[in-house]
Amino acid sequence: MRLFAAVATMLPLLVGTAAAPLVAQEGGRFLVTETGRSYARLQEAVDAIGAGQGTIQIAPGTYRECAVQGAGRIAYVAAELGRSVFERVACEDKAALVLRGAGARVDGLVFTHIQVPDGNGAGIRIEKGDLAVANTRFVDNQSGILSAADPSATITVDRSTFAGLGKDPTGNGAHGIYVGEFAALTVTRSRFERGTGGHYLKSRAPRVTILDNSFDDSAGQNTNYMIDLSNGATGRIAGNSFAVGGNKDNYSTMITVAPEGAKNPSAGLVIENNRAWLAPAFQWKTTFVGNWSGERVTLRNNSLTDRIAPYADR
């Protein structure tokens, strides 16, 4: 994966901002660590890095602003974990961070209450390049992470929270995570909870690794699938826990394989060592894995409570 290795761990954007002179300010909230220069606005720090590589350390605070990255490899890192909050403002009517450079890393930030007219207001819109997200919270937006298509790039998410996501007033559907035609998606050690519509995790990537996550739908409202591999995928879904809530738009299936057409191979997909149960309010029967692909997937060692059928060909 082509990620730089330097990092271990709303006022709308005005036309012409990127072309304005970049003025470093002593005491600015956005520090480019490689140069030691601070900037008053996030977009100014992004533009200072430009097509290069750099890290923006973000001071604690609540920010009503956003940024567009059009080039380079940039890390957006909270100076104090969970205390740098971006709320209510989206660039290009898309997201707090709109990313289409060579790569990006996001660590320790919070994105909340981001809504846009088309119903897909996200914390992060990744349109091009690799993306790595860690220790980050997406709370009460329409979407958490939303991607376009870049078949040469990958997305990884680790130790992050997706809560209160999925409500789309246009009716077109928003999701906790939605990944389009990227090469691969990896989601590990993360929590999905309290969905307000759509799917918790929806992916069209041909390769997935979804390990050791918690999907808690017990307080969900009008939710759909837990994991939707829309066009099929190979890879592994393992060590996850699933609690199915009683207020669902679609309660028939928890994990889907190719429900929108088998564009990707799914033979060899392994779903193992997961646990799933029904919240007390859930009154129906459901299926753990529904497979539309016509190919054989492997299920083993999954612990399922009563009224959850292990598998169904669709």
Say how many Å lie between the first and final Cα of the chain, rounded.
35
3-state helix, strand, coil in the chain (%, to 5): 5, 45, 50
**Can you give the pLDDT at residue 24?**
61
The DSSP result for 16-51, as a single string, is TGGGSPP---TT-SEEETTTTEEESSHHHHHHHHTT
The DSSP result for 79-144, as a single string, is SSTT-EEEES--BTTTEEEEE-SSEEEEESEEEES---TTS--EEEEE-SSEEEEES-EEESSSEE
Cα distance between residue 150 and residue 125, in whole Å: 12
pLDDT beneath 70, residues of the chain = 1-26
Cα distance between residue 223 and residue 67, in whole Å: 30
**Can you give the pLDDT at residue 14?**
27
Residues 6+ apart with CB under 8 A from 15: none
**Can you give the pLDDT at residue 169?**
87
**Can you give the pLDDT at residue 25?**
63
Cα distance between residue 139 and residue 79, in whole Å: 20
**Can you give the pLDDT at residue 193?**
98
Which tens digits make up the pLDDT trace of 117-159?
Answer: 999 999 999 999 999 999 999 999 999 999 999 999 999 999 9
Q: Which residue has the tokens 């060899």?
A: 268
3-class state of residue 162 by DSSP: strand
Cα distance between residue 84 and residue 58, in whole Å: 7
**Can you give the pLDDT at residue 27?**
73
